[in-house]
């Protein structure tokens, strides 16, 4: 498995929002990678920085106030952060594509589906003839499972249902055969049955076109169903990373454990669902110690004093928690543990 | 069961046939309002008058018949004659062309300039926005007719300069309208989606944001034509617009003010002409607003 090349590597990424009330580090030293043809899930609560991470990869962070302040985003061998705006435009849509949460508003209401599909193709395939472009658009609509694709080409977004529109969005994103597809909560706005269809479609396309997918979601069910590996984010940091099965079988970080406990279980009738006490701290508000300490059931003195780093539990599993520091019996020097303050 | 199936198919087909674009939907909405249709009818009448009217009227507009000065309306002179013995009917018909041209081109001019400034201000924001918006504020601080008079007195009184002045004073109205629309549209996800497929800023501005901000501009534009016609007439009345022989409605009103008591028709008919055109555009504009306003849609 691990022979597959790392296609997209995010290294030590920092994205900060400069607001009147101070600097907000929305993405704080984030590291992860996506391998060829892999589906990687990024999970976390609202406001934990997962969307900003994805926008940072595309370099579409609203600026001002947002700014990528450090790190590297390697696509293949090249650092995307060193590209000019013009080079980035050629990469967007062609090499890295993105779909969004709201299929209802992701299409321009004034133009037909065909119009918008063709526009997406002609942006990157400038030499194609009109016929080629139209054929490709219809082909893609068929590929994402839209019945009567030719008619859909002539229809306006408001004539399609949410599920159909998300299919159109996926078709539009994949039209130039990108190597990575970033899907920012693609199923959140859809009902459960449509959600399952869209996830199935994404898995099929992933196998068929070998497009790597970076799936951003807050829904652990979606992750379990779709992803190969998972990165859990909390307050702008990666706090745990492991293969999906491992995460569900052996969640290490207290936050991940809490998340998994909060998923309703059909077999077990409880009156109230478990919930993690408290709220996600505002990015930048925790100055010292572990960011989860205030909500953590197993927090101890050290958690309030030092900032944990990512500790390896196994080859494929890392956790940002002192519990795993001591389990391994590694005595970390104070200096080392506070590197990322 | 076999009987049911074709029925279901029939429904699906009927729905398919109704598939329409957003502009067609607006037209269907517009058609529902009788008042708006009356307004559109009046506007259409004046447009036809402006285009074909001069062909129908037999008298030349500036043909003076001193023997027939200040004649009341009759079968020969439908609207009577003025102090030079000119036929008021043919002058009003010719005047329709002047008023509509001024109204239309002044508004088109302010829409073009206003849209450009508004889009730039709304999309790029920051200091660009501050500068453009403050200029708009300064212009809006003056009563519009006063500003128009000032501009005309700088440029010199003529119909063309009146048109330019009216265009200028309306720029901030459209600029602000577009700016606010752009501010909300640029947060829409399809703009982000357009960026995510690698589209250039310029193209996003003109092929996605501009068309989507056009609906309120069309409404405002229709209403603004009415105001522009009024302003042109006001400038004409003050002697700052059309010059002597041109049959401009405001100018005709000004010329008739000395004969108000003896020959009221010299004033009544140009007044009615102005009133009707303005009414027509206003009714049409209201109808368009109802048809295009997203809040009114189900």
| Per-residue pLDDT of chain A in tens (341 residues, 90 and over written 9) | 456 788 888 888 888 888 888 888 888 888 888 888 889 999 888 778 888 888 888 888 887 788 888 888 888 888 888 888 888 888 888 888 888 887 778 888 888 888 888 888 888 888 888 888 888 888 888 888 888 888 888 888 888 888 888 888 888 888 888 888 998 888 877 788 888 888 888 888 888 888 899 999 888 888 888 888 999 988 888 888 899 888 888 888 888 888 888 877 777 776 777 888 887 787 777 778 888 888 888 888 888 888 888 888 788 888 888 887 765 454 443 434 433 33
Residues of B with Cβ-Cβ distance to A89 under 8 angstroms = 198-200
pLDDT score recorded for residue B163: 92
- A93–B196 C-beta distance less than 8 A: yes
* CATH number where A75 lies: 3.40.50.300
In the sheet with A229-234, reading across from the earlier edge strand, the strands are: A96-99, A180-184, A212-217, A39-43, A229-234, A237-243, A318-319, A311-312
**Residue B130 confidence class, pLDDT cut points 50, 70, 90:** very high
Q: Give the end-to-end CA distance of chain B in Å, rounded to a whole number.
A: 34
The C-alpha of A39 sits at a distance from chain B's nearest C-alpha, in angstroms, of 20
What's the helix, strand, coil split of chain B in %, to 5? Answer: 75, 0, 20
**Residue B59 confidence class, pLDDT cut points 50, 70, 90:** low
| Chain B interface includes A109 (CB < 8 A) | yes
**Gap between the Cα atoms of A215 and A184, Å rounded:** 6
**Gap between the Cα atoms of B222 and B289, Å rounded:** 10
* Shared-domain flag, residues A173 and A184: no
pLDDT score recorded for residue B20: 64
The C-alpha of B4 sits at a distance from chain A's nearest C-alpha, in angstroms, of 23
* Shared-domain flag, residues A87 and A208: yes
**Gap between the Cα atoms of A99 and A93, Å rounded:** 10
* Structural domain boundaries, residue A110: 104-177
Q: Do the beta carbons of residue B249 and residue B241 sit within 8 Å? A: no
How many structural domains compose chain A?
A: 2
Burial of A280 (0-12, 13-18, 19+ CB in 10 A): buried
DSSP lists the bridge partners of residue A74 as A9, A79
Whether residue A13 lies inside any domain: the answer is: yes
pLDDT score recorded for residue B276: 92
pLDDT score recorded for residue A333: 38
Which of these three, A141, A161, A177, is where a domain ends?
Answer: A177
| Chain B interface includes A60 (CB < 8 A) | yes
A100 vs B16, B192, B208: nearest CB: B192
Name the 3-class secondary structure at A9: strand
Structure tokens at B260: 């108000």
**Gap between the Cα atoms of A93 and A116, Å rounded:** 13
pLDDT digits (tens, 9 = 90+) for B171-181: 999 999 999 99
| Chain A interface includes B200 (CB < 8 A) | yes
Whether residue A112 lies inside any domain: the answer is: yes
Domain regions of chain B by residue span: 60-292
* Shared-domain flag, residues A249 and A187: yes
Pick among B196, B200, B202, B210 to test the A interface (most A CBs inside 10 A): B196
| Chain A interface includes B12 (CB < 8 A) | no
pLDDT score recorded for residue B2: 41
* Shared-domain flag, residues A253 and A270: yes
* Shared-domain flag, residues A136 and A214: no
User: Taking 90 as the threshold, does the pLDDT of residue B131 lie above it?
Assistant: yes
* Shared-domain flag, residues A120 and A87: no
Instruction: At B53, give phi and psi (nearest 5°).
Output: -50, -50
pLDDT score recorded for residue B173: 93
**Residue B110 confidence class, pLDDT cut points 50, 70, 90:** very high
- B126–A98 C-beta distance less than 8 A: no
Lowest pLDDT segment from A133-142, B188-197, B240-249: B240-249
- A60–B196 C-beta distance less than 8 A: yes
Q: Chain B window 119-148: which residues touch A at a Cβ cutoff of 8 Å?
A: 126
Q: Chain A window 267-326: which residues touch B at a Cβ cutoff of 8 Å?
A: none
Which of these three, A262, A280, A298, is where a domain ends?
Answer: A280
- A110–B197 C-beta distance less than 8 A: no
**Gap between the Cα atoms of A170 and A262, Å rounded:** 30
* Shared-domain flag, residues A167 and A188: no
Domain B60-292: which CATH number of 1.10.10.10, 3.30.1360.200, 1.10.3720.10, 3.40.190.10: 1.10.3720.10
User: What would the mean pLDDT of B134-140 be, rounded to a whole number?
Assistant: 93
Q: How many CB pairs lie under 8 A apart between chains A and B?
A: 73
DSSP secondary structure, B152-220, as one string: HHHH-SSHHHHHHHHHHHHHHHHHHHHHHHHHHHTTSHHHHHHHHTT--HHHHIIIIIHHHTHHHHHHH
* Shared-domain flag, residues A21 and A38: yes
Whether residue A250 lies inside any domain: the answer is: yes
Highest mean pLDDT among A93-102, A219-228, B136-145, B243-252: B136-145
- B212–A109 C-beta distance less than 8 A: yes
Residues of B with Cβ-Cβ distance to A100 under 8 angstroms = 189, 192-193, 196
Which of these three, A129, A153, A177, is where a domain ends?
Answer: A177
Q: Which of residues A224 and B81 earns the better pLDDT score?
A: A224
* Shared-domain flag, residues A12 and A80: yes
Q: Do the beta carbons of residue B120 and residue B183 sit within 8 Å? A: no
* Shared-domain flag, residues A112 and A73: no
| Chain B interface includes A90 (CB < 8 A) | yes
pLDDT score recorded for residue A326: 62
């Amino acid at each position: 498995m691990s022979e597959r090349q790392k296609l997209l590597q995010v290294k030590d990424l920092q994205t900060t929002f400069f607001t009147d009330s101070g600097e907000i580090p929305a993405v704080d030293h984030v590291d992860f990678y996506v391998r060829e043809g892999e589906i990687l899930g990024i999970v976390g609560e609202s406001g934990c920085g997962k969307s900003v991470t994805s926008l940072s990869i595309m370099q579409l962070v609203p600026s001002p106030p947002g700014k990528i302040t450090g790190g590297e985003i390697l696509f293949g061998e090249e650092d995307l952060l060193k590209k000019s705006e013009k080079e980035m435009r050629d990469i967007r849509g062609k090499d890295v594509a993105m779909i969004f949460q709201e299929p209802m508003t992701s299409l321009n209401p004034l133009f037909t589906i065909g119009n918008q599909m063709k526009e997406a193709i002609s942006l990157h395939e400038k030499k194609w003839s009109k016929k080629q472009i139209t054929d490709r658009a219809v082909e893609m609509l068929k590929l994402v499972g839209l019945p009567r694709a030719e008619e859909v080409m002539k229809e306006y977004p408001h004539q399609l249902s949410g599920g159909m529109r998300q299919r159109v969005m996926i078709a539009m994103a994949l039209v130039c055969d990108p190597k990575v597809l970033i899907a920012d909560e693609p199923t959140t706005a859809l009902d459960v049955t449509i959600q399952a269809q869209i996830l199935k479609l994404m898995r099929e396309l992933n196998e068929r076109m070998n497009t790597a997918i970076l799936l951003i979601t807050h829904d652990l069910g979606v992750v379990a169903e779709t992803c190969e590996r998972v990165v859990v984010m909390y307050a702008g940091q990666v706090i745990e990373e492991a293969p999906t099965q491992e995460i569900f079988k052996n969640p290490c970080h207290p936050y991940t454990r809490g998340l998994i406990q909060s998923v309703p279980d059909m077999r077990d009738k409880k009156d109230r669902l478990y919930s993690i006490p408290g709220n996600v701290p505002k990015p930048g508000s925790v100055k010292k110690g572990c960011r989860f300490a205030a909500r953590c059931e197993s927090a101890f003195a050290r958690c309030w004093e030092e900032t944990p780093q990512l500790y390896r539990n196994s080859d494929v599993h890392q956790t940002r928690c002192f519990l795993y520091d001591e389990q391994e019996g590694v005595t970390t020097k104070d200096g080392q543990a506070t590197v990322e303050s | 069961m076999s009987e049911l199936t074709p029925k279901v198919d029939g429904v699906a087909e009927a729905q398919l046939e109704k598939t329409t674009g957003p502009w067609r939907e607006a037209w269907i909405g517009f058609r529902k309002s009788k008042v708006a249709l009356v307004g559109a009818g009046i506007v259409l009448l004046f447009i036809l008058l402006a285009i074909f009217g001069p062909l129908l009227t037999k008298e030349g507009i500036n043909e003076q018949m001193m023997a027939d000065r200040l004649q009341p309306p009759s079968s020969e002179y439908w609207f009577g004659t003025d102090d030079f013995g000119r036929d008021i009917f043919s002058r009003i018909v010719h005047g329709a062309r002047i008023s509509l041209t001024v109204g239309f081109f002044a508004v088109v001019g302010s829409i073009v300039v206003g849209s450009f400034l508004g889009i730039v201000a709304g999309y790029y924001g920051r200091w660009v926005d501050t500068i453009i918006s403050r200029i708009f504020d300064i212009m809006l601080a003056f009563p519009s007719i006063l500003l128009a008079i000032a501009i005309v007195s700088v440029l010199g009184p003529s119909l063309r300069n009146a048109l330019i002045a009216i265009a200028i004073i309306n720029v901030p109205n459209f600029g602000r309208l577009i700016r606010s629309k752009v501010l909300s549209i640029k947060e829409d996800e399809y703009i982000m989606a357009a960026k995510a497929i690698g589209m250039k800023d310029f193209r996003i501005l003109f092929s996605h944001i501009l068309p989507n901000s056009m609906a309120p501009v069309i409404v405002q534009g229709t209403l603004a034509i009415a105001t522009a016609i009024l302003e042109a007439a006001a400038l004409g009345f003050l002697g700052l617009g059309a010059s002597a022989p041109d049959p401009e409605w405001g100018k005709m009103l000004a010329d008739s003010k000395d004969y108000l008591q003896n020959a009221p028709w010299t004033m009544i008919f140009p007044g009615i002409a102005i009133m009707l055109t303005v009414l027509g555009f206003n009714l049409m504009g209201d109808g368009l607003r109802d048809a295009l306003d997203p809040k009114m849609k189900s």
